[in-house]
């Protein structure tokens, strides 16, 4: 992810949410259909279960974000950890729908909205706190998706950032890019 300098919290937050969405997608692209639904052990979640949970959280937190509690009465969090969609297409459909909720809620906001109060499970949060809470939550789960996809891909894994043992090469490229921008 190329950093774009900004002093806008909302612009930066949206950029980071898009980054985590893309990171999760790039990881899932490297997993077979079977691997999306495989759990490492009886207590572990599969990629599909993590996606189902994230999508359920996104629907609850971001629908009517400014006017209703982020924990909707019709959400049953426990069911998010069982019976994920049966196909890659259905799973990715839930992923897309969840992220659409995030972006539909955040894109219309302005800096003046950051101090407004919203509730999550009856607790007051500023809009900025609620955004931070969800960003860290999603980053955590995207990290799980990446870890699982990398585990399953093993030696076929295509790095999503700086490949192992290529830091010096990457740093030279960055320095060369900076020199050409002067």
Cβ–Cβ < 8 Å for 131, 31: no
Average pLDDT over residues 30-56: 97
Q: Report how many domains make up the chain.
A: 1
The residue segments making up the domain with residue 150 are: 9-180
Global pTM value? 0.88
Q: Say if 42 falls within a structural domain.
A: yes
CATH code at 173?
A: 1.20.120.450
Cα(175)–Cα(121) distance, rounded to whole angstroms? 47
- In tens, the pLDDT along 47-61 reads 999 999 999 999 999
pLDDT number for residue 174? 55
Across 93-107, 108-122, 142-156, 158-172, least confident range? 158-172
Question: Does residue 2 belong to any structural domain of this protein?
Answer: no
Residues 141, 132: Cα–Cα separation, whole Å: 14
Question: Does residue 1 belong to any structural domain of this protein?
Answer: no
48 vs 81: CA distance, rounded Å: 9
For 118-158, the pLDDT digits (tens) are 999 999 999 999 999 999 999 999 999 999 999 999 989 99
Alpha-carbon distance of 88 to 33, in angstroms, equals 6
Choose between 174 and 59: higher pLDDT.
59
For residue 4, being part of any structural domain is answered with no
Within-domain flag for 126: yes
């Amino acid at each position: 992810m190329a950093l774009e300098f900004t002093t806008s919290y909302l612009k930066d937050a949206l950029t980071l949410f898009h980054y985590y969405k893309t990171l999760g997608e790039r990881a899932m692209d490297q997993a077979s259909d079977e691997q999306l639904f495989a759990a490492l052990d009886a207590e572990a979640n599969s990629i599909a279960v993590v996606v189902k949970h994230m999508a359920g959280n996104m629907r609850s937190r971001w629908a009517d974000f400014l006017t209703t509690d982020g924990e909707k009465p019709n959400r049953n969090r426990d069911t998010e950890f069982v019976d994920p969609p049966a196909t890659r297409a259905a799973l990715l459909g839930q992923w897309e729908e969840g992220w659409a909720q995030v972006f539909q809620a955040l894109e219309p906001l302005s800096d003046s909205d950051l101090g407004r109060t919203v509730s999550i499970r009856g607790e007051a949060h500023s809009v900025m706190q609620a955004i931070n809470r969800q960003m860290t939550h999603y980053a955590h789960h995207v990290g799980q998706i990446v870890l699982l996809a990398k585990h399953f891909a093993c030696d076929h894994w295509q790095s999503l950032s700086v490949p192992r043992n290529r830091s010096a090469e990457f740093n030279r490229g960055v320095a060369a890019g900076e020199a050409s921008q002067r």
